[in-house]
Chains A and B, each alone.
Chain A
Amino acid sequence: MSTIQTNAIVDAAGGNTATVNGISPLANTSRNGRNIIINGDMRIAQRGTSFTSPASGQVTCDRWVSGIHTGTGDGNVTQETDAPTAAQSGTVFTHSLKLQVTTANTSIQATDRKYFIYKLEGQDVAPAGSGQAGTRYMTLSFWHKHTKTGIHSVAINNAARNRSYPMEYTQTTTNTWEKAELTFPVDTTGTWPTTNAAGMWIFFGAAYGSNYAATGNQWGAGQKYGTANQVNNYDSTSNSMQFTGVQLELGSVATEFEHRSYAEELAACQRYCQLLTAAAGSASSTSAVEFGIGFYPEMRGAPTASATAALIVERHNVTAYTQSSAAVTIVHSTGRGAKFTISNFSGLTAGNGYTYSGYQSGSGHIVLDSEL
């Protein structure tokens, strides 16, 4: 047996159509699981599709956190059906995430900061080897549509936000879908958790003050969200910015966006957010029902519970009871399950069984949040 040592195999014309035993070698675009971003195509929106002036840290489309009004200026965030066409992107996206400015800020102050954040779970981004010696690369690609033309920026930060790597991209034509492909070296220092805690944050900038700007394309200390060249997306209420097709992968090549089935994408999102819409339990008093639930899929960690509106329980599908005001309490909580008490009812019989039916019209439902 002999050994072939070569740097490249190409076809007779020097191209990339060579085959082996009549079969074309698989391009790396066929590898499943290369996109570390969950819901990069913005299809999943369990919490709703429209967010008026969302609070800092509020999750909008699943996994996408808003941080849009520290300092003067505000906006609304929506899930849109506007997306790059097949002719533009070579594939089909059905949704995007949009920020529409509603209160302008024409004079960005040093401490102002407005952005979307995507937070990666440490164990998902661990294969990059951040914080370890050696030369490795990651590539971030996404489709963007800004009203403002010019230079925009994104930045990679560790969760402690004391290491950052700002990068620039350009919006050439106003309100047009364009694609950015940004390759960056993996950081060889700093603390990068590899657990179920946050391992990496990605900031998609709208406007930054000078306190958060740094030189692009280099790792540095501190909490930096972009470069000083960042245009001000907040200088007019006519401005908006949209993203979709966000992909982060190992290596220095931006491959085609990895589409996953809706079921796969939803299940991945449910590690961080689940809507609890039904359960069977019993009354612990005349005003409260208790029940226990296992979480499927397992959540990232013990979730926060909230109710979207007053909840309804039923007795034998005959009598319905509605809370006087929305309330849910979670105890014994882990990522695998928890015990709940829903109170503020009246007229229940202690010890009797009741069914929580948050799926029916007129009832609120319980939201479980285990986001980073």
Chain B
Amino acid sequence: MNITNAQYVKERIADINDSVKVTADGQELSVPMDPNNRHYAEILRQVADGDLTIADAD
């Protein structure tokens, strides 16, 4: 999976990172930060491998 443009999205009430916005194989996805989610698991794998960096939330 080719993932680019990763950025955290904050949940405003708790003011914590709650999901990650990415472009995956050309499609924009909003991915919950749940390791049991296949896209987030792949994001974590690519971050661990040094292939992807997640930008801070706006």
Residue ranges of A at the interface with B (Cβ–Cβ < 8 Å): 55-58, 196-197, 301-307, 326-333, 338, 369-372
The 8 A CB mask of B1-17 against A (1 = contact, 0 = none) is: 11000000101000000
Q: Are B18 and A332 in contact (CB under 8 A)?
A: yes
Instruction: Identify whether the interface residues of A are mostly helix, strand, loop, or mixed.
Output: loop
Min CB distance, B31 to chain A, in Å?
5
Q: Are B19 and A329 in contact (CB under 8 A)?
A: yes
Assembled-state Cα–Cα distance A305/B9 (Å): 13
Assembled-state Cα–Cα distance A301/B36 (Å): 7
Min CB distance, B29 to chain A, in Å?
5
Q: What number of residue pairs across chains A and B have CB atoms under 8 A from each other? A: 62
Q: What 9 A-B pairs are tightest by C-beta distance, nearest first?
A: A302-B32, A333-B32, A55-B25, A302-B34, A331-B18, A305-B30, A330-B30, A331-B11, A301-B36
- Other A-B pairs, 7, CB within 8 Å; known A55-B25, A330-B32, A333-B18: A57-B1, A302-B37, A306-B27, A329-B21, A330-B19, A331-B32, A338-B32
Assembled-state Cα–Cα distance A307/B21 (Å): 13
Contacts of A302 in B (CB 8 A): 32, 34, 36-37
Q: Are B19 and A301 in contact (CB under 8 A)?
A: no
Q: Using a Cβ–Cβ cut-off of 8 Å, how many residues does chain B contribute to the interface with A? A: 21
Assembled-state Cα–Cα distance A303/B11 (Å): 16
Assembled-state Cα–Cα distance A133/B19 (Å): 41
Contacts of B25 in A (CB 8 A): 55, 58
Contact of A306 among B1, B29, B32 (CB under 8 A): B29
> Smallest CB-CB separation from A326: which chain B residue?
B28
B45 on interface, CB distance cutoff 8 Å: no
Assembled-state Cα–Cα distance A330/B29 (Å): 9
Contact of A304 among B2, B9, B11, B37 (CB under 8 A): B37
Contacts of B2 in A (CB 8 A): 55
Q: Are A304 and B1 in contact (CB under 8 A)?
A: no
Contacts of B39 in A (CB 8 A): 304, 369
Contacts of B32 in A (CB 8 A): 302-304, 330-331, 333, 338
> Smallest CB-CB separation from A333: which chain B residue?
B32
Min CB distance, A74 to chain B, in Å?
14
| A55-B1, A305-B30, A306-B29 known; A333-B19 Cβ under 8 A | yes
| A197-B36, A302-B37, A304-B37 known; A328-B30 Cβ under 8 A | yes
Assembled-state Cα–Cα distance A369/B32 (Å): 11
